[in-house]
């Protein structure tokens, strides 16, 4: 026997055990640790190595997801807000354009009505002036008809004062006495005032304008106190005359006056002209 056999051993029996520890951290730290220990194996078995399994931390990942979700939500909100602002601006612009168009149309219509009114007033004024002149000439023609015998004598005397081209002009005009007055007519049996003057001057090769306005500026302006046979008399302004006739001398003129009197020879006092032009 060994000399040490009687010494009791102070070594404790070795125990074999297996242990698995599982750790998991949730929400910023380790939430719990679960240890699983197995029963000891045989007395002489090797110890089982303890293993620790680290689980991924979930807190940072969730926070990132929440942040990205919040950013996405904010972007959507911003986009919707921008779209709402754009829609509001477009609606305001459309309303403004509609109002501007309506205002422009209103002004155009008002202008059109004003122009139509002015034109109608001008036509009414011209018609009234024509009616007044016609009535006056008709009255004067009636009052002077009793002096027709003396007028014929005076006319013959006045015509005899003209010489040369003026005599030819007056001879033609004299031959038309008694013809009808019809607006726009140019002969041979009916005339308006400017047509008669034009036709008379055409006999001597002078081509006058057709209308009174142009005839009133066709020659040299002369004073009514310095008239000569053959001068063109006009009523109204130079360039805007409404009636013309031919001065026959002796204070008389020949002209196609109006539908009531036709082509007549009258005293200047019967219807004083506004001015005269000399062509010859």
Peptide bond between residue 13 and the one before it cis (omega within 30 degrees of 0) = no
The per-residue pLDDT for range 148-185, each reduced to its tens digit, is: 444 444 444 444 467 889 999 999 999 999 999 999 99
Q: Name the percent of the chain lying above pLDDT 90.
A: 41
Q: How far apart are CA 256 and CA 276, in angstroms?
A: 17
Instruction: State how far the alpha carbon of 105 is from the alpha carbons of 91, 100, 102, 110, 114, in Å.
Output: 21, 9, 5, 9, 14
Element (H, E) at 125: helix 59-144
pLDDT band with cut points at 50, 70 and 90 for residue 213: very high
Task: Tokens for 66, please give them.
Answer: 């929440």
Is the pLDDT assigned to residue 110 strictly greater than 80? yes
Q: Is 133 exposed, middle or buried (0-12, 13-18, 19+ CB in 10 A)?
A: middle
Mean pLDDT of 198-203: 96
Is the pLDDT assigned to residue 30 strictly greater than 50? no
Which residue intervals of the chain bear CATH 3.90.1720.10?
147-278
Superfamily the domain 147-278 falls into? endopeptidase domain like (from Nostoc punctiforme) (3.90.1720.10)
Q: Give pLDDT, residue 221.
A: 97
Element (H, E) at 31: strand 30-37
pLDDT band with cut points at 50, 70 and 90 for residue 21: very low
Residues in the chain, overall count? 280
Is the pLDDT assigned to residue 186 strictly greater than 80? yes
Element (H, E) at 137: helix 59-144
Q: Give pLDDT, residue 59.
A: 56
DSSP, residue by residue, 48-117? PPPEEEPPPP-HHHHHHHHHHHHHHHHHHHHHHHHHHHHHHHHHHHHHHHHHHHHHHHHHHHHHHHHHHH
Q: Give pLDDT, residue 136.
A: 53
Between 98 and 263, the higher pLDDT residue: 263
What number of other Cβ atoms are within 10 A of residue 251's Cβ?
13
Question: How many Cα neighbours within 13 Å face the side chain of 225?
Answer: 0
Lowest-confidence pick of 55-59, 160-164, 247-251: 55-59
pLDDT band with cut points at 50, 70 and 90 for residue 84: confident
């Amino acid at each position: 026997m060994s000399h040490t056999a009687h010494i009791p051993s102070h070594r404790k029996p070795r125990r074999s055990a297996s242990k698995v520890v599982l750790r998991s951290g949730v929400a910023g730290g380790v939430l719990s640790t679960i240890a699983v220990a197995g029963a000891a194996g045989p007395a002489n078995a090797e110890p089982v190595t303890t293993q620790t399994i680290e689980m991924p931390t979930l807190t940072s990942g969730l926070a990132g997801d929440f942040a990205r979700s919040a950013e996405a939500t904010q972007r959507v909100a911003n986009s919707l807000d921008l779209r709402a602002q754009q829609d509001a601006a477009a609606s305001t612009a459309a309303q403004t354009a509609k109002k501007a168009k309506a205002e422009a149309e209103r002004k155009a219509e008002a202008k059109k009505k004003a122009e139509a009114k002015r034109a109608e007033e001008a036509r009414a004024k011209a018609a009234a002036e024509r009616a007044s002149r016609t009535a006056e000439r008709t009255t004067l023609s009636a009052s002077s008809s009793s002096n027709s015998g003396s007028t014929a004598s005076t006319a013959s005397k006045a015509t005899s004062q003209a010489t040369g081209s003026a005599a030819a002009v007056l001879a033609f005009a004299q031959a038309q006495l008694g013809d009808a007055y019809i607006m726009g007519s140019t002969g041979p049996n009916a005339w308006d005032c400017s047509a008669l003057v034009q036709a008379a001057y055409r006999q001597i090769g002078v081509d006058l304008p057709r209308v009174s306005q142009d005839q009133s500026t066709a020659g040299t302006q002369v004073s009514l106190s310095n008239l000569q046979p053959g001068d063109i008399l006009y009523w109204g302004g130079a360039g805007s005359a409404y009636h013309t006739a031919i001065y026959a001398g002796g204070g008389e003129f020949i002209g196609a006056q109006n539908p009531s009197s036709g082509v007549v020879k009258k005293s200047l006092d019967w219807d004083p002209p506004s001015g005269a032009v000399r062509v010859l």
